[in-house]
Amino acid sequence: MNKLFWIADDDPDDRMIIKEAFEENNCSNSLSFFEDGEEVLLKFKEAISNGSIIYPSLLILDLNMPKVNGLELLTQLKKDEITKNIPVVILSTSRSHHDKEKVLKLGADDFITKPFSFDVMIEITRDLIQKYG
């Protein structure tokens, strides 16, 4: 059974690179892309209200997004009984040790700095597929 990965990133180029890296790894998981944290929250609310609660096996979040950023979304998800156990990986341009400590303390499963090469993104997505589905 293939799993569902949700990716929230406001940069269309980053979304395309992430998608292509998963495809390069022949990922059979379903990928859903969101432009900000607000879209992710709306998707959860919609699923819950429809009674068809389908949770992602992995949620990949950028930190710096409009409306609801990755930090705010992570905080909300980890406080909610329904969503608190969903694995969350932060994939951000931030190289700040403080950002990494903060998100891990809030419950993120990992913090990965966005690579500058497509080959490294392929390796990152390969590792994510192996670890989360």
pLDDT value of position 1: 58
pTM: 0.92
Question: Which two structure tokens, joined as six digits, stand for 90?
Answer: 């932060």
pLDDT value of position 46: 85
Q: Which domain holds residue 46?
A: 4-132
pLDDT tens figures, 77-114: 999 888 899 999 999 999 999 999 999 999 999 999 99
pLDDT tens figures, 107-133: 999 999 998 899 999 999 999 999 998
CATH number of domain containing 20: 3.40.50.2300
pLDDT tens figures, 36-54: 999 999 998 887 788 766 7
H or E segment to which residue 6 belongs: strand 4-8
Total domains present in the chain? 1
